[in-house]
Amino acid sequence: MKIIVLGTRGIPNVQGGVETHCEQLFPRIVKLGCEVELITRKPYISRKERKIEYQGVKLKHLYAPKKKSIEAIIHSIIGVLYAKTKNPDILHIHAIGPSLVVPLAKLLRLKVVITNHGPDYDRQKWGKIAKAVLKKGEKWGSNYADKVIVISTVIQNSLKKLYSRENTDLIFNGVNIPDISKKTDYLEEIGVEKYKYIFTAGRFVQEKGFHDLITAYKQISSDEYRLVIAGDSDHPSAYRDDLLRMAEESNIVLTGFIKGDKLNQLFSHAALFVLPSYHEGLPIALLEAMSYNLRVLVSDIPANKAVRLNNKNYFSVGNVEELAFKIKELLKTKDPINYQKIINDKYNWDKIALQTYKVYKSLM
């Protein structure tokens, strides 16, 4: 089977949940016998890093304007037209923004699978027009795609209620079981000690709730633990500027976007991982923290609740006082943690690849 993938900024080492999903999934799809070509957005892949292949996945770098309001739709139209010239067995589109082009793909007689990673119109960064466009993408993707994959039961139930799409395929996000790092050179470089810092990671966008975490951290008034935030924004924004200012005022460590050994060290030696999000699909960052058997504290939004942690691991989204209280409580906790079974059973990338392959086969 020949698969073309559209809807991701690119792989490898590009910030974002969809990007991490595709980076892990499609090399495994290649190993199952498929030919995969993934379309990237040029602004996110520097010229010197524009590879033609990654772990067997062919890469095609196409134009995209780096302007958040029109980037996805223009790139997706170009991507569908390119896909038609390659005549794939399946066009696999990720996320609801790019799903706006599903009707065009069907007019061009392409078989389309979409993966709905969550209702992006819930993100605070979008205005009324953008939210309406994203809802239209979700609707058209749900109504016209040959197959719809959802990454959580929350999304599955939503599509059933909103669009009467009954026959969705539930395939979770995944995570790899990591090798715990024994190295600490990066921790020393950024000025933190093993097990003496609170950690979080993600894009600098309002719905991640990092402003709440910083405010809660200031309330803790503890010199024993530092706060480390890994990530950055894709575009310049006032919110990013505010986070930088807040971090500087409170002696918080901002690492920028990191991957590989540096990120491994931060996950390996954290005292607590916190995800204060207002919106998620199924957060890979949370699954990564669990794969390291970290203590975790996350907001009680439906996507996080779907992971079914203990009540002590949740706080009411946006409630800074409760967030600060629960951080202090979990930092005192010393009981052992083991999330390995749930990771292997539900969030295993090899199983996810096989489930996705079966969706493809069902269309042949």
pLDDT digits (tens, 9 = 90+) for 79-118: 999 999 999 999 999 999 999 999 999 999 999 999 999 8
Q: What's the CA gap between 131 and 111, in Å, rounded?
A: 27
Contacts of 18 (CB under 8 A, 6+ apart): 7, 8, 9, 94, 95, 117
In a shared domain, residues 57 and 17: yes
The answer, yes or no, to whether the previous bond of 43 is cis (omega within 30 of 0) is no
pLDDT of residue 236: 82
In a shared domain, residues 291 and 197: yes
Its pTM surpasses 0.95: no
In a shared domain, residues 211 and 113: no
In a shared domain, residues 331 and 209: yes
Question: Crossing angle, helix 210-220 and helix 238-249, to 10 degrees?
Answer: 10
In a shared domain, residues 336 and 354: no
In a shared domain, residues 164 and 227: no
**Does residue 269 lie within any of the structural domains?**
yes
Return phi, psi of residue 228, to 5°. Answer: -120, 125
Token pair 């609801």: residue? 96
Kindly report, residue by residue over 147-162, the tens digit of the pLDDT.
999 999 999 999 999 9
Split into its structural domains, the chain has a count of 2
**Does residue 180 lie within any of the structural domains?**
no
In a shared domain, residues 245 and 139: no
CB 19, CB 8: distance < 8 Å? yes
**Does residue 212 lie within any of the structural domains?**
yes
**Does residue 148 lie within any of the structural domains?**
yes
In a shared domain, residues 152 and 193: no
In a shared domain, residues 109 and 247: no
Q: What's the CA gap between 105 and 111, in Å, rounded?
A: 8
36 - beta bridge partners? 3
**Does residue 80 lie within any of the structural domains?**
yes
Q: What is the CATH number of the domain that holds 356?
A: 3.40.50.2000
* Domain that residue 21 falls in: 2-174+348-362
pLDDT of residue 67: 83
Q: What's the CA gap between 329 and 123, in Å, rounded?
A: 30
pLDDT of residue 231: 94
In a shared domain, residues 204 and 245: yes
In a shared domain, residues 53 and 119: yes
In a shared domain, residues 58 and 121: yes
**Does residue 179 lie within any of the structural domains?**
no
pLDDT of residue 124: 66
In whole numbers, what is the pLDDT of the chain averaged over residues? 94
List for the chain the helix, strand, coil content (%; round to 5): 45, 15, 35
